Amino acid sequence: MSASPSRPPLKLDLNKAAQSLRLSLDKAGVQTDIKAELIFDIDVSGSFEHEHEEGTTSQLIERLVPYGMVLDPDGAMDVFTFSNGPHSAHRVGTVTPERAGGYILREVVDKVPGWKGGTTYSYVLEKNLQHFGWLEESETLLGMVSRFLGGSAPSRQREKKRSIVIFVTDGENDPSDESRTMQVLRDSEARGDNVYFLFIGACEHTVEFKFLNRLASTFRNTGVVIVRDLEAFVEQSDEAISAQLLGQELISWLKK
C-alpha cells in the first residue's frame, strides 16, 4: 500500500496560540494559577490510518499543544495510543512545543502496539487513570491477573494529580467493551477522581458516536465534541478551536 500524501505544515505561532487560549480562559473566569496535567489519547485503529499517515492528526496535536503550555504544570502533554485490547493501550511519550511538528508521523505511524487494530476505549482510560495516580495498578483487570500469576506483588500508585484527558477517536467503541468502559468511568466518579474527560469524535462519515454522547450525558466530568471535518478543524483560528473545546462544563470543572 502506498503512503498517503503529506499535508503541508501548519504555519503556527504556538506562543501566540497559548496567549489566545489564556485570554479565552481569563474571559471565562479561570484563574492563571489553575493547572491540570494533560493526556492526549489518539485512536490508532485501521479506519484512522489515512488521517495519521497524511499528517492531519499530527496537526491536531500541534493545535492542542498550547493547552499543555497553559494548563499543564510542566508545559507539556503526555501522548497515549490505543486500538483494541489491553496490549494496545500504550504511552508514547511527552510532546512539547519543540517536538510537536509531525509528532504522529514520527512517533506513532507503524510503530505503536495495536497499529491498525479495532477500537476499545476502556483499557487506555485505565492507563490514563493509573498514570495520573487515581487508580492503582492492582485495581485493573491486568493487575488482578498479574497478582494471580505472580503472587502478592505490591500495588503501585503514583501521586494523584488533577488532570484532563483529551480522547480522540474516529469510531464507535466495540459493543463488547461498552459496559467495561462505563464501569471504569463509574468507578472513577465514585472514587472522586479529579479528572475531566473530553471525548472528540472525529469522522466525516456516518458514525453517530452514540456511545460518546451517552458517556457525556451520564457523567458530570465528561464532555464530547463531534468534528466532521478534521482537516478543516485543525486549520481554524485559535479562538474558534477554543470556542469548540472549552465547553461550559469543562470551564466549571477548571474553576472548582
Strand partners, 195: 163
Who contacts 88 (Cβ-Cβ below 8 Å, separation ≥6)? 44, 81, 82, 112, 113, 114, 117, 120, 123, 124
pTM above 0.85, yes or no: yes
| pLDDT, tens only, 1-32 | 444 556 666 778 999 999 999 999 999 999 99
Mean pLDDT, residues 36-58: 96
pLDDT for 156: 65
Q: Work out the mean pLDDT of the chain and round it to a whole number.
A: 91
Q: Residue 249: is its pLDDT beyond 70?
A: yes
Percent composition of the chain: helix, strand, coil (DSSP 3-state, to 5): 45, 15, 35
Mean pLDDT, residues 214-218: 97
pLDDT for 246: 96
Could you tell me what percent of the chain has a pLDDT over 70? 88
Who contacts 208 (Cβ-Cβ below 8 Å, separation ≥6)? 172
**Within its chain, how far is the Cα of 186 from the centroid?**
18
| pLDDT, tens only, 54-76 | 999 999 999 999 999 999 999 99
Q: Residue 102: is its pLDDT beyond 60?
A: yes
- Determine the Cα–Cα distance for residues 13 and 114; give it in Å rounded to an integer: 33
Q: Which domains does the chain have, with CATH numbers?
A: 34-255 (3.40.50.410)
Query: Which one is predicted more confidently, 142 or 158?
Result: 158
pLDDT for 146: 56
Who contacts 153 (Cβ-Cβ below 8 Å, separation ≥6)? 138, 146, 147
| pLDDT, tens only, 196-207 | 999 999 997 778
pLDDT band at 253 (very low <50, low <70, confident <90, very high): very high
pLDDT for 100: 92
